[in-house]
């Protein structure tokens, strides 16, 4: 086994996914099969190979620090599931 | 001929001469959408009133004589593009009611030229899929055979072009999501070089791989659409500041002396006979046009799918962290603490494929596994890029299949994610290498389903692959074949 049900539960907590018991079962089997497949990468010797994180060679992209209009509070809040005045409303954070 | 059958350049000739109006063209397109949607389901949202109003504005521009080639042309966008004031769902329940406050740059560029938006197109949820079956708005059907998938994830974008329910569309391609549906639906689809087109306002899936591109009826339209959306955008720091060539002017029809590479790793035993037959015929066509063939090797091809499904899922797990039920998107009705609210909102809002990829990506990035999975995959990515750079020292373009088979049946691969992932085996390496590729109609299977060929270009070599694709199109009639719908 490449991955256990307990590891799936741990990863789900990290990913903030409240998976159902059935989802955990299904994902354990599917992730196990996929991880067994990607193991083929270990056939390749990559000692001394530089990792590629970006396909096009690029320096930092700087721009002038100039003031531009922003979308404004009402636009920013227009899609909020819940709001109070000019704030996003969330459940109690600190018990 | 019906108006909805016409390409962008054909419509433009008539619009310019005032033989037809954009309002007529747009109404005809909306009628075509109404007639084909019950069978195809290519659209998530049809923007009828806004389209007719934009068409009236376009007609004024045409009358005033300051029209662009796209003025008055009905186009549609994958629902991954943000459209100000128009719902943009990305095929997901979590964004089912999301109304963006701004436009994607690529859409803005079309809009400024006077293109008319007729609607937002169906797609795999968050562009994760190869069949358009992961959309929460139901699967899109292939207009050539509605028992079959249109491909994905830009399946709605390809199906609308094939059903002639939009003159042209935009899609996105992270591992083949423009080219594979274009091949399955018999249209032209181009994935530009990473950095060629701005991604500002395009909902992110895997940021080191995602790229915007057009799906069209023919190569000329593809050149027109690419020219309209390409170019540097200060709002996307990964867009590259280099001049945009006149792609249409580059369609000379001349491929004599063009060196075309045939990678032995793509012409494998067990390649579908319909796909093989189409490619063999295409090679003969190109020989007749004076192109030269060179056998090449891309030795790390077999590792591309594995590397992709670690890199793409890792980036997705990070990009999709923003859907937490606080600022926008679905929030669970079952309140509780903040953590519970976020975890339940995400579980309810995401579909199975999206959750699977978030889980894989989170695992690949998690403590103790980062080096073994994510870093290893990035190193293999380097080897795959080097394969292409080496090949392009001797050839101008590379000719390959797009997909291993023609379109498969709806439901055929949904229970086996790995089989679904392997259907992108010929398109994924191009995204990992960050270069460009185009799919062009090149045949029909025994069952009457389209088969495309792929031409892969050097980084920023879009002109060469468009020219080669156009020459092939001029020498064949596949692009004139239409879905019987």
Compute the average pLDDT of residues B168-192.
98
Decide which of B418 and B341 is more confident: B341
Query: In angstroms, what separates the C-alpha of A66 from chain B's closest C-alpha?
Result: 13
DSSP B307-361: HHHHHHHHHHHHHGGG-SSSSSS---SS--SHHHHHHHHHHHHS-HHHHHHHHHH
Instruction: State whether A11 and B362 contact (CB < 8 Å).
Output: yes
The whole-angstrom distance between A38's CA and the closest CA on chain B is 5
Residues of B in contact with A42 (CB under 8 A): 376
Taking CB atoms and an 8 Å cutoff, what residues of chain B touch A52?
A: 378-379, 381-382, 385
Q: What does the pLDDT look like over B151-165, one tens digit per residue?
A: 999 999 999 999 999
pLDDT at A95: 67
pLDDT band at A4 (very low <50, low <70, confident <90, very high): very high
pLDDT at B192 over 70: yes
Q: Which of B193, B307, B359 sits opposite A27 (nearest CB)?
A: B359
Rounded Cα–Cα distance for residues B171 and B394 (Å): 31
Q: Does residue B78 have an active-site annotation?
A: yes
Residue B395 confidence (pLDDT):
98
pLDDT at residue A59 tops 80: no
- What's chain B's length in residues? 485
End-to-end CA distance of chain A: 39
Q: Which of B254, B481, B306, B296 lies closest to B400, judged by CA?
A: B296
Q: What is the pLDDT of residues A27-49, one digit of tens each?
A: 999 999 999 999 999 999 999 99
| Domain edges within chain B | 3-257+475-480
Q: Do A20 and B355 touch (CB under 8 A)?
A: no
- Judged by a CB distance cut-off of 8 A, whether residue B330 touches chain A is yes
Active site residue B153: yes
Residues on chain B touching A50 (C-beta within 8 angstroms):
379, 382
Residue of A nearest to B355 (CA): A17
User: CB neighbours of B109 closer than 8 A, spacing ≥ 6?
Assistant: B228, B229, B231
Statement: residue B415 has pLDDT above 90: no
Task: Give yes or no for B326 touching A (CB within 8 A).
Answer: yes
Out of B307, B418, B432, whose CB is closest to A41?
A: B307
ipTM value: 0.96
Inspect the interface and report whether the beta carbons of B98 and A79 lie closer than 8 Å. Answer: yes
User: Does the distance separating the beta carbons of A51 and B195 come in below 8 Å?
Assistant: no
Asked whether B324 and B345 are in contact (CB, 8 A), the reply is yes
Superfamily of structural domain B3-257+475-480: Amidase signature (AS) domain (3.90.1300.10)
More confident residue, B313 or A61: B313
Average pLDDT, chain B: 97
* Residue linked to tokens 């080669």: B468
Contact criterion met (CB below 8 Å) for B401 and B454: yes
pLDDT of residue A8: 97
Determine the pLDDT at residue A57: 78
pLDDT for the residue numbered B485:
86
Contact by Cβ (8 Å): B129, B353: yes
Q: Determine the pLDDT at residue B39.
A: 98
Tokens of B358: 């978030």
Please report which confidence band the pLDDT of residue B429 belongs to, taking 50, 70 and 90 as the band edges: very high
**Percent of chain B with pLDDT strictly greater than 70:** 100
* Range in A45-59, B31-45, B213-227, B345-359 the model is least confident about: A45-59
Query: Is B388:B394 a contact under the CB 8 Å cutoff?
Result: no
A51 → chain B, closest CA residue:
B379
- Burial of B277 from C-beta contacts in 10 A (0-12 / 13-18 / 19+): middle
**Is the pLDDT score of B268 beyond 90?**
no
Regarding beta strands B436-444 and A87-88, do their DSSP bridges make them parallel or antiparallel, or are they unpaired?
unpaired
In chain B, the N- to C-terminal Cα span, in Å, equals 15
| Class of CATH domain A5-43 | mainly alpha
Average pLDDT over residues B137-142: 98
- For A30, which residue in chain B has the nearest alpha carbon? B417
- Chain B residue numbers with beta carbons less than 8 Å from the beta carbon of A76 are 101, 327
Whether residue B196 has pLDDT greater than 70: yes
Instruction: Report whether pLDDT(B79) > 80.
Output: yes
Active-site residue flag, B154: no
Identify all chain B residues contacting A39, using CB atoms and an 8 Å cutoff: 306
Percentages helix, strand, coil for chain B (3-state, rounded to 5) are: 40, 15, 40
Closest C-alpha to B323, from A36, A69, A81 = A81
For residue A93, the model assigns a pLDDT of: 82
| B359 with A11: Cβ contact below 8 A | yes
Calculate the alpha carbon distances from B169 to B48, B61, B159, B178, B189 in Å.
16, 22, 10, 10, 10
Give A56's pLDDT tier (boundaries 50, 70, 90).
Answer: confident
């Amino acid at each position: 086994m490449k991955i256990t049900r307990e590891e799936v539960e741990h990863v789900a907590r990290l990913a903030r996914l409240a998976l159902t018991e059935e989802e955990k079962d299904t994902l354990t089997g599917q992730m196990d099969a996929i991880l067994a497949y990607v193991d083929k990468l270990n056939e390749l010797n990559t000692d001394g190979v530089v990792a590629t994180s970006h396909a096009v060679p690029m320096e930092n992209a700087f721009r002038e620090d100039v003031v531009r209009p922003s979308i404004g509070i009402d636009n920013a809040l227009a899609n909020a599931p819940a709001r109070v005045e000019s704030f996003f409303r969330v459940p109690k954070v600190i018990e | 001929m019906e108006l909805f059958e016409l390409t962008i350049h054909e419509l433009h000739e008539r619009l310019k001469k005032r033989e037809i109006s954009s309002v007529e063209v747009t109404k005809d397109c909306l009628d075509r959408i109404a007639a084909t949607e019950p069978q195809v389901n290519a659209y998530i949202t049809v923007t009828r009133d806004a389209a007719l109003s934009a068409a009236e504005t376009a007609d004024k521009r045409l009358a005033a004589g300051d029209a662009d080639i796209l003025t008055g042309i009905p186009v549609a966008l994958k629902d991954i593009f943000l459209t100000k004031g128009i719902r943009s769902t990305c095929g997901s329940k979590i964004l089912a009611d999301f109304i963006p406050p701004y436009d994607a740059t690529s859409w803005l560029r079309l809009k400024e030229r006077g293109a008319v938006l007729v609607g937002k197109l169906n797609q795999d949820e968050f562009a994760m899929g190869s069949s358009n079956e992961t959309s929460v708005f139901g699967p899109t059907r292939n207009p050539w055979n509605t028992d079959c998938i249109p491909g994905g994830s830009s399946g709605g974008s390809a199906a609308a072009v094939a059903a002639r329910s939009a003159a042209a569309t935009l899609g996105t391609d992270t591992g083949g999501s423009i080219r594979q549906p274009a091949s399955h639906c018999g249209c032209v689809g181009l994935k530009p070089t990473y950095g060629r087109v701005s991604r500002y306002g395009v909902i992110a899936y895997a940021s080191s791989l995602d790229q915007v591109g057009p799906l069209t009826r023919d190569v000329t339209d593809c050149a027109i659409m690419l020219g309209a959306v390409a170019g540097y955008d200060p709002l996307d720091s990964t867009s590259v500041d280099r001049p945009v060539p006149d792609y249409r002017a580059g369609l000379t029809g001349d491929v004599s002396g063009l060196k075309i590479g045939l990678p032995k790793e793509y012409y494998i035993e067990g390649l579908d006979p319909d796909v093989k037959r189409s490619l063999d015929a295409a090679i003969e066509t190109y020989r007749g046009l004076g192109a030269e063939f060179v056998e090449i090797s891309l030795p790390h091809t077999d590792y591309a799918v594995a590397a992709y499904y670690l890199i793409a899922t890792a980036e997705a797990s990070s990009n999709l962290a923003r859907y937490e039920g606080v600022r926008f998107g679905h929030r669970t009705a079952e309140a509780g603490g903040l953590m519970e609210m976020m975890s339940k909102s995400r579980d309810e809002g995401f579909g199975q494929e999206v959750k699977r990829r978030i889980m894989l990506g989170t695992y690949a990035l998690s403590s103790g596994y980062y080096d073994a999975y994510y870093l290893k995959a990035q190193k293999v990515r380097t080897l795959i890029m080097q394969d292409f750079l080496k090949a392009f020292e001797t050839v101008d373009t590379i000719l390959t299949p797009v997909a291993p088979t023609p379109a498969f049946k709806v439901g055929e691969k949904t229970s086996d994610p790995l089989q679904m992932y392997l259907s992108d085996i010929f398109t994924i390496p191009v995204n990992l290498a960050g270069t460009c590729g185009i799919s062009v109609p090149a045949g029909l299977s025994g069952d009457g389903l389209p088969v495309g060929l792929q031409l892969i270009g050097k980084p920023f070599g879009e002109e060469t692959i468009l020219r080669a694709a156009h020459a092939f199109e001029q020498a064949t009639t596949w692009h004139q074949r239409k879905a019987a719908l």
